[in-house]
A and B are shown apart, each in its own frame.
Chain A
Amino acid sequence: MKKLTAACVFLAALAPIGLTAGDASACGMSVRLEPIPERPTPVQEIANAEKAMDSGNLLAAASTVLRTFPGIRGATAGSDPLQTRGLRVLALAIVRSDGKAGQASGWTPNANLEWAIQTMREIDQKRPNDPAVQADLGEALSKLPRTQPEAFKLLSLLAQKDLMGSPFAYSALAHLRQAKGDTNGAVAAVKKCEEMTKNTSICKVAPAKAAPSTPVAAVVGKVAMVAPKRPRVAAF
C-alpha cells in the first residue's frame, strides 16, 4: 500500500508535465492544473529568431533555430521553406558573430564560418538571381580571406546596380574597399549602411594601414573609426 501511495504521489507530481489546463484525477483526488503556456509554433520560433538576429542578439537567434530544428546543420537548403529560413538565420548569426554563435562542439570559429558560407551558397543556388540572398552570401564570403575576392566582386556588382538592402552587406563592402585602399568607395558604402540601420556602429570601418605614400589623415578623416571586433580583412 505504501508503494502504491508513493507511486501516486510521484505520478501526481509529474502530472503537470505535458498536460494542459483542466481537472485531472490523481489517486482519487481532483487537482486543478495551471494552464501551461502554448509552445510557439515552428513558424513563430523562426520568426522570433529572425527578430533576435535583427536586434543583434545573435546567440539567441542561433539557439532558437537549433532548438526548433536540432538537426538543421545537416539539412538541405530549399527542401523546406521554414527550414531554409532557419538555415539562413543560423548562417548569418554565425557570420555576424565571427563564427562564435551556434558553435557545434569541437568546431572552431573558422570551421563554423565555412559551414555558414557553404549554407549561404546552397541557399543562393536554390534561389538564383535573388539579390537579397546574394547580399547575405557576399557578407558571409567577406569573412574569410580566401573568399574575399569573390565577396568583393559580388557585393560591388549589387551596389553598382543599387540592389542591396542589407546594412551588413554594405558594411562588408566598406571593409573590402578600405582594404583595397578605396577610401572614397568605403565612405560611400558606410553612408549607405548608415542609412539602413539604427545601429550605425555596425557600419564603422577601421582605417586601412596606410601605405607610405598615402596620407593617413585623409583616410581617417573620411572613414569613421573602428569596430574592434571586425575580423581581419586581407588586402587581396
Chain B
Amino acid sequence: MPHVRIVHLALALALGLAALAGCGPKKRPDGTLDAGSTGAVTAVPTAVEPKADAAHGKELVAQFQCNRCHDGLAQIEPAPQNKHCVHCHRDIMDGKFKGKPDTIARWQPRVKDLQDAPSLEAAGKRMAARWLEDYLLLPVDLRPGLVQAMPRLDISREQARDIAAYLVAGEVADTAPAPRGDAGKGRQILESKACGTCHAFSGVAFLGGTAAGALAFTIDPKELPRAIRLAPDLRHVRARMSPKRARAWLADPKAVKPDTLMPKVALTESEITDVLAYLYNATLDVPPAKGVPARLAVLSRRVTFEEVDRKVFHRTCWHCHSEPDYAIGDGGPGNSGGLGFKPRGLNLSDYNGIAAGFLDGNNERQSIFAKDKDGVPRVVRALMARHAEEAGAPTGEVRGMPLGYPALSLEDVQLVETWIAQGRPRT
C-alpha cells in the first residue's frame, strides 16, 4: 500500500514543520506567554490581519460590561451602583454602604480585595493596541499589588482587536527604537527615587523601596496603599507602551492621565532617557515556570456539605452564583449572566441549587458533578483550571474559577472532591 505510506510521510512532514514553526506555547520577549499559542483563544492571527473596528469594540466593551470594574471609558458611563463591583465594594470599605453595622463589618474582610481596578482614562495615550489585544486574550499578572486580576473573558482575537482599537483610539504607530541612554544610571535613578515602593519589576533585581515619609516625591499617605495596589509591574512597560509615550508619562503622568496616582517625579530629560534605557533594555529573567499542581488525593475522613459550604461555596462562589429571589441583586453574573457570559443559571448558594447544575451551551441543564473523560467532576475541573491559568498553561474549554481571583488552595479543592466522592452528604 505505497499510497498509505505517502500519506503517512506527508502527515509526519506536516507535523514536523508545524513543530519547527513553533506550535505550542511561545514566550514573548518579556517572558510572558503568547495567548495565541495556548489554546485559550478561538482564533489565531494570520499574516494579513483584518482591520480593527473601533465602533464594534465600543459595543463589545458594553457587552463585556467592562464598566462594572473600570471607570474612565470614553463615551461609556460607569455601571450603575448596584452593578458596579468596584464602587459597591469601595462603599462597603468606606462605610458608605447602607446596612447594619454588624453586617458591614462581616462583609468588609470579604470585599476588600475588589475595591480598586485601574481606570482606563486616556488609555489611547498610554497603551499599545497590540499589547492590549494579547492581554485581553490571556491576562497576565500586571498589577501584583491587586489580589484579583483581569478575568479571562470569553473572547476571540477579532473581538480583542476591536476592543483594543476602541480603547486606544487615535494611537499613532510609533516605531521608534529603544532609548539609548545609560541603563546603569537609569537603574540607579529608579532606586534613588524609591520607585520600588509601589512598582515591582519582575525579572531584574529588586528595585528597593522606602517608607512613605522618605519618598522623593509627594503622595498623599492615605492614597499610598491604593497606589501600591494599582502600580503595574515594570516588566511589561516595553510591550505595553512605546518609548515616546513612556517618556511623556515619566515627564508628567497627570498631564497624560489626570486621575492617576502616579506622582510627578523630578527628572531631567537626560535622567528620563536613562530610566527608559533601563526599562526597555534591561535583561529580564524568564519567570520561573509555575507548573500546574496536581490534585491532592481525596480525604479518608467524612466531609459534609456544611464544611464545604462554609469553606468554599459560601466563602468564595456564591456572590457571583446566587439565587435572585434569595439575595440582594440579580444572582450575579454566574447565574443571570454578565461580563460577556451568557446566563448559566448556576446557583451555588445552597444544597438544592448546587445540585440543580448549570445551563450548557445548548441551554440544557448539566450537573456540576458530571465527570469528564478523566473521571474529574466538572466543578473540580473548573477549580483546577484556575491553577492552570495562573501557570499560563492551556485549560481547554473549561474556564478557571473563581474568575479573576487567586486559585483555591489545593486543600480546598481536595475538600470539594472528597465531598463529591463521598456521595455529597448533606449532613
Interface residues of A (CB under 8 A from B): 81-82, 84-85, 129-132, 135, 161-167, 192, 195-198
Contacts of A165 in B (CB 8 A): 351-356
Contacts of B355 in A (CB 8 A): 131-132, 162-166
* CA gap between A135 and B365 in the complex, in Å: 13
Q: Contacts A165-B356, A166-B352; is A195 near B326 (CB within 8 Å)?
A: no
Contact B423 A131 (CB under 8 A): no
Q: Mark B68-99, 1 if CB is under 8 A from A, else 0.
A: 00000000000000000000000000000000
Contact B426 A162 (CB under 8 A): no
Contact A161 B365 (CB under 8 A): yes
In whole Å, how far is A59's beta carbon from the nearest beta carbon of chain B?
23
Q: Contacts A162-B369, A163-B367; is A195 near B426 (CB within 8 Å)?
A: yes
Which one of A85, A130, A163 lies within 8 Å of B326 (CB-CB)?
A: A85
Q: Once A and B bind, how many residue pairs between them come within 8 Å at the CB atom?
A: 60
Contacts of A195 in B (CB 8 A): 423-426
Contacts of B139 in A (CB 8 A): none
In whole Å, how far is A128's beta carbon from the nearest beta carbon of chain B?
10
Which one of B365, B424, B426, B427 lies within 8 Å of A163 (CB-CB)?
A: B365
B270 at the interface (CB under 8 A from A): no
Contact B365 A196 (CB under 8 A): no
Which 10 A-B pairs rank lowest in CB-CB distance, beginning with the nearest?
A165-B355, A131-B356, A165-B352, A81-B325, A162-B367, A198-B427, A132-B352, A196-B426, A132-B356, A195-B423
Within 8 A of A (CB), among B356-388: 356-357, 359, 363, 365-367, 369-370
Looking at A84, A162, A167, A198, which has the most chain B CB atoms within 10 Å of its CB?
A162
In whole Å, how far is B49's beta carbon from the nearest beta carbon of chain A?
40
Q: Is the interface of B mostly helix, strand, loop or mixed?
A: loop
B324 at the interface (CB under 8 A from A): yes
* CA gap between A195 and B423 in the complex, in Å: 7
B273 at the interface (CB under 8 A from A): no
B345 at the interface (CB under 8 A from A): yes
Contact B345 A129 (CB under 8 A): yes
* CA gap between A107 and B369 in the complex, in Å: 43
B67 at the interface (CB under 8 A from A): no
Contacts of B423 in A (CB 8 A): 192, 195
Interface residues of B (CB under 8 A from A): 324-326, 345, 347, 351-357, 359, 363, 365-367, 369-370, 423-427
In whole Å, how far is B306's beta carbon from the nearest beta carbon of chain A?
11
Contacts of B370 in A (CB 8 A): 162
Contact A84 B325 (CB under 8 A): yes
Nearest B residue (CB) for A131:
B356
Given contacts A129-B365, A161-B367, A165-B355, 13 further A-B contacts (CB under 8 A): A82-B325, A84-B325, A85-B326, A129-B363, A131-B365, A163-B355, A165-B353, A165-B354, A165-B356, A167-B426, A192-B423, A197-B426, A198-B426
In whole Å, how far is B423's beta carbon from the nearest beta carbon of chain A?
5
Contacts of B424 in A (CB 8 A): 195-196
In whole Å, how far is B148's beta carbon from the nearest beta carbon of chain A?
29
* CA gap between A198 and B365 in the complex, in Å: 28
Contact B357 A163 (CB under 8 A): yes
Name 14 interchain pairs, CB-CB below 8 A, sorted by A.
A81-B324, A129-B345, A129-B363, A130-B345, A132-B356, A135-B352, A161-B367, A162-B355, A162-B369, A163-B355, A163-B356, A192-B423, A196-B425, A198-B426
Contact B427 A197 (CB under 8 A): yes
* CA gap between A81 and B328 in the complex, in Å: 11
In whole Å, how far is A195's beta carbon from the nearest beta carbon of chain B?
5
* CA gap between A231 and B80 in the complex, in Å: 52
Nearest B residue (CB) for A84:
B325
* CA gap between A197 and B426 in the complex, in Å: 6
* CA gap between A175 and B365 in the complex, in Å: 25
Contacts of A129 in B (CB 8 A): 345, 359, 363, 365
In whole Å, how far is B218's beta carbon from the nearest beta carbon of chain A?
49
* CA gap between A131 and B363 in the complex, in Å: 13
In whole Å, how far is B73's beta carbon from the nearest beta carbon of chain A?
32
Contacts of B354 in A (CB 8 A): 165
Contacts of B324 in A (CB 8 A): 81
In whole Å, how far is A7's beta carbon from the nearest beta carbon of chain B?
41
* CA gap between A196 and B326 in the complex, in Å: 21
Contacts of B347 in A (CB 8 A): 132
* CA gap between A85 and B365 in the complex, in Å: 22
In whole Å, how far is A58's beta carbon from the nearest beta carbon of chain B?
18
In whole Å, how far is A78's beta carbon from the nearest beta carbon of chain B?
10
Nearest B residue (CB) for A80:
B325
In whole Å, how far is A143's beta carbon from the nearest beta carbon of chain B?
19
Contact A132 B353 (CB under 8 A): yes
Contacts of A197 in B (CB 8 A): 426-427
Nearest B residue (CB) for A191:
B423
Contacts of A131 in B (CB 8 A): 355-357, 365
Contacts of B359 in A (CB 8 A): 129
In whole Å, how far is A44's beta carbon from the nearest beta carbon of chain B?
12
In whole Å, how far is B380's beta carbon from the nearest beta carbon of chain A?
15
* CA gap between A195 and B354 in the complex, in Å: 15
Nearest B residue (CB) for A134:
B356
Contacts of A167 in B (CB 8 A): 426
Contacts of B425 in A (CB 8 A): 195-196
